[in-house]
Amino acid sequence: MTDDFEQENVAGEELDVIIPGALEGVRIDRALSILTGLSRSEASAILDSGVVSLDGKLIVKASVSLLPGQHLTAMLPAPDSGEVSADSSVPVEVVFEDRDFIIVSKAPNQVVHPGAGQREGTLVAGVLAKYPEMMELARMGLCDPIRPGVVHRLDKGTSGVLAFARTPEGFASLSEQLADRSMERIYIGMVEGHVAEERGIVDAPIGRSSRTPTMMSVRSDGRPARTHYEVLTRIDKPHAMSLLRLQLDTGRTHQIRVHLSTIGHPIVNDARYGHRRERRLDDDRFFLHSQSLAFAHPRTGEWVSQQVPLPADIASMVPEGIEF
């Protein structure tokens, strides 16, 4: 999605899986049904729409048989499951609370809202258990009922600071500030290789990949996207890496990941847009952290700024003495 914007909504949900041995020889339409819970007819319709790929090749035939280890991707319809159910068992770390919004620290590998890959136990379900009034925003038609209060989002593999709206005033203001680019979003990312320049801007339009529908790519017909970067330090061991401070001018889906991969420095452990030189993080985790978020208060206009530290899983990879 967004993140996805690392944080922006796009039509449909993503499926991105490696075919397990249990699905060897299974037709692709049946496998889609098994993996997503969709009916066989719905799976066939998805295939017909040209949004399914296998090892990077577009697939439209429902009769194609699968092999273990193949990479299956697809764009799926957003779940039509009515309203999200609150779930108090989902951990939520609130770092700032206001009548109009809250700011939370999203844990690594936590899914923000229901989608094709996960419909239960999402962060929004936990937030809704604490702030049930957010569902009124969806009932008023301000946002999707499976994403009540969601103004922006982060990819599953990205950790860090994230805001939710609690009132119509909060939702309108935060959405407007995100759209007009006055909301300040700072990330910390570790990338492969030594970035030569001390600072720079990647200014390249991003659109959905024509080859792999669940991925984004730099395209001449894409939407404008700008990412600022600054080198904090360069690391030689266990291999060449650079720690970057990143700031978004725009917020396209997977923007930071796509832009850094495009300039030859993919995010460490990002298997989708780069590679894994060594497995120092969980499979779905990469070294990207939303460090700080700042915006004007919806009612007072006062500047609100919140920051959360790097989680332990990536903080251990940063040399001592580096200041962010």
Rounded-to-integer distance, Cα 256 and Cα 294, Å: 18
Provide block-wise average pLDDT over 10 residues at a time, the chain (324 residues). 36 76 92 82 86 90 93 77 84 97 94 72 93 92 88 92 97 94 96 96 91 83 95 94 95 93 95 76 88 97 97 92 81
Residues tagged active-site: 155
Question: What does pTM read for this prediction?
Answer: 0.80
- Determine whether 141 is exposed, middle or buried from the number of CB atoms within 10 Å of its CB (0-12, 13-18, 19+): exposed
| Kind plus residue range of the DSSP H or E element containing 125 | helix 123-130
Show the domains of the chain with their CATH numbers: 20-69 (3.10.290.10), 93-315 (3.30.2350.10)
pLDDT at 12: 55
Residue whose entry in the numeric block shows the structure tokens 């969709």: 38
Q: Are 114 and 76 in contact (CB under 8 A)?
A: no
**How many other C-beta atoms lie within 10 A of the C-beta of residue 208?**
19
